[in-house]
Amino acid sequence: MRDTLLIIEDEELLRSELARHYTKSGWEVAEAATAAAASRLLGSRSVQPVVVLCDLSLPDGDGLDLLERHHGASGAEWIILTGYGSVPDSVRALRLGAFDFVEKPCPTERLDLVVTGAARSARAQRRLRTQSDDLHERYSVEAFIGESRAADQVRATIEQLSQVPLSCVLIGGETGVGKGLVARILHYSGSRREGPLVEVNCAALPADLLESELYGHEAGAFTGAKSRHRGLFEQAHGGTLFLDEISELDGRLQAKLLRAVEDGRIRRVGGEAEIEVDVQLFAASNRNLQDRVRDGEFRGDLLHRLSVFLVELPPLRERPEDIEPLVMQLIAEFNARSGKEVKVVSQAAWSRLRAYDWPGNVRELRNVVERSVLLSTGAQFPETWLPGEGTSTASTSDGDDGRVLRFVVDGRETLDQWEARVLSTALQQTEGNVTAAARLLGVTRQTLRYRLEKHGIEGGD
């Protein structure tokens, strides 16, 4: 399907020449000779142009007034044409969001470059808008799954917060309860959903590197800083910065963060100029920050600033009613990813799922369901890989010595972590003999070698 170019021009000869030229160039061209005709086309959505070429002076109106009325709704890039442009007009055109302001007569080659650039920009904007809409749907309030009263309260809080402009939100709760999910729901359901969401784990980076990541640096600020780097605050301008595990932030960076939040300004490492940033800040912690303040490990003034709004998420063990809807949602997700067709969960499996304490919360449950679905052999949800009772057993395939592998499943492990543990256990039992370990696991030696290399495990022979 060809992109549409709308030409709004009252000079019939020029309009016809432009239409003929861009039709030959592969465009679907629509035409309007007046502001009223253009408004009818754009208002009815019968034409959805990628680029609009609009004359500044029309018989029944002003091209800039037309731009102001329709620019946001049309989703197109506007190029204003004029035979007697002035500085105030060009300034107003750019302020209203025009892509460019071109004086007539304009050489065809020059106009082609401008139209091509405008089309590229419009397509990028539409992709971003589509992506934003998809994320908004994916991270709707209903993405926080659960039928318990606690889950209802969390959704009600998120719904309420998404309707107001936020400066700071602090999200608390144990590891694995879904703090990152809530941050994404708040962003993609709020007024800044068209802006970026930038996430960083404060515990994952050393203090000096984290400072550079957050605030950016100038060339030469430190060894290895060969060029200017825009930090995460700048990258999140107009959107949201999410600082996970904020409790692990170094004391010096806590003071710098407080100043950035209070003033809305940052300074790059090694820089002299202050840069204004407009971000809403979400922070999350699995530790009690009040206790950290009392212990002198976290600034009280920063805690007060971050906790303008506080969302506390309950652990999974306090909402067992939510296990069933979570499991069914996760089974559907991993069925779709892996091509499996798990449909039936036995009462015995439900009993074990409900009886377990889930110290790793929803993250642990997710790992368990992923492992169970991927290792399933039919429509039945297997109980073998569930935590709690029992062990999982893999038997030798050759029957020579009757050796078996036995190990307790830890539901907090990911599938990769679990596989690495199985491989290591097999090698230990066979004293590093890869051939024997392969027989014990029922795989070929080549397959075992590949998996050992994948996990960085050294094998014998």
Same domain, yes or no: 207 and 275: yes
CATH code assigned at 229: 3.40.50.300
Judge contact between 372 and 346, C-beta under 8 A. Answer: no
Same domain, yes or no: 106 and 38: yes
53 found inside a domain = yes
CATH code assigned at 414: 1.10.10.60
Of 90, 110, 134, the domain-final residue: 134
The burial of 232, by beta-carbon neighbours within 10 Å (0-12 exposed, 13-18 middle, 19 or more buried), is given as: buried
- Banded model confidence at residue 160, pLDDT cuts 50, 70, 90: very high
382 found inside a domain = no
385 found inside a domain = no
Same domain, yes or no: 144 and 117: no
Q: Is 80 exceeded by the pLDDT of residue 401?
A: no
pLDDT digits (tens, 9 = 90+) for 193-242: 888 899 999 999 898 889 999 999 888 878 777 788 889 999 999 999 99
What is the rounded distance in angstroms from the CA atom of residue 405 to the CA atom of residue 257?
Answer: 51
Q: How far is CA 321 from CA 149, 150, 306, 325, 353, in A?
A: 9, 10, 32, 8, 11
384 found inside a domain = no
Q: Is 60 exceeded by the pLDDT of residue 301?
A: yes
pLDDT digits (tens, 9 = 90+) for 435-453: 888 887 777 877 778 788 8
Range of the domain at 353: 317-374
Q: Number of helices and strands (H, E) in the chain?
A: 18, 16
DSSP-assigned letter for residue 345:
-
Same domain, yes or no: 271 and 334: no
Tell me, what's the pLDDT at 280? 96
CATH code assigned at 62: 3.40.50.2300
Tell me, what's the pLDDT at 396? 40
Of 113, 134, 155, the domain-final residue: 134
CATH code assigned at 352: 1.10.8.60
pTM, to two decimals: 0.64
- Round to the nearest angstrom and report the end-to-end CA distance of the chain: 60
Same domain, yes or no: 228 and 154: yes
Closest Cα to residue 408, out of 381, 427, 428, 384? 384
Q: Is 70 exceeded by the pLDDT of residue 392?
A: no
Residues 292-297, mean pLDDT to the nearest whole number: 94
Of 86, 107, 134, the domain-final residue: 134
Q: Is 60 exceeded by the pLDDT of residue 127?
A: yes
Hey, which residues does 240 pair with through a beta bridge? Answer: 197, 280
Tell me, what's the pLDDT at 397? 43
The answer for 246, left when phi > 0, alpha when psi is -120 to 50, beta otherwise, is: alpha
Q: Is 90 exceeded by the pLDDT of residue 391?
A: no
379 found inside a domain = no
Residues 134-144, mean pLDDT to the nearest whole number: 84
- Banded model confidence at residue 388, pLDDT cuts 50, 70, 90: low
383 found inside a domain = no
Contacts of 344 (CB under 8 A, 6+ apart): 379, 380, 381
Same domain, yes or no: 182 and 304: yes
Q: Count of domains in the chain?
A: 4
What is the rounded distance in angstroms from the CA atom of residue 228 to the CA atom of residue 218?
Answer: 4
The HSE-up count of residue 280 (CA atoms within 13 Å, CB side) is 27
Same domain, yes or no: 11 and 127: yes
Same domain, yes or no: 186 and 251: yes
What is the rounded distance in angstroms from the CA atom of residue 246 to the CA atom of residue 254?
Answer: 9
Judge contact between 418 and 441, C-beta under 8 A. Answer: no
Closest Cα to residue 77, out of 94, 91, 98? 98
DSSP-assigned letter for residue 190:
S
Judge contact between 43 and 13, C-beta under 8 A. Answer: no
Same domain, yes or no: 63 and 200: no
Residues 129-150, mean pLDDT to the nearest whole number: 83
Closest Cα to residue 238, out of 199, 278, 283, 189? 278
Tell me, what's the pLDDT at 406? 56
Same domain, yes or no: 126 and 168: no
pLDDT digits (tens, 9 = 90+) for 56-96: 889 998 888 998 888 777 678 999 998 776 677 778 887 88
What is the rounded distance in angstroms from the CA atom of residue 101 to the CA atom of residue 251?
Answer: 50
460 found inside a domain = no
273-306 residues labelled b (16+ CB within 10 A) or e (exposed) = eebebebbbbbbbbbebeebbeeeebbeebbebb
Residues 284-298, mean pLDDT to the nearest whole number: 94
Same domain, yes or no: 152 and 294: yes
461 found inside a domain = no
Same domain, yes or no: 270 and 344: no
Contacts of 399 (CB under 8 A, 6+ apart): none
Contacts of 184 (CB under 8 A, 6+ apart): 135, 139, 197
Q: Is 60 exceeded by the pLDDT of residue 410?
A: no
pLDDT digits (tens, 9 = 90+) for 93-120: 878 888 888 888 888 999 999 999 999 8
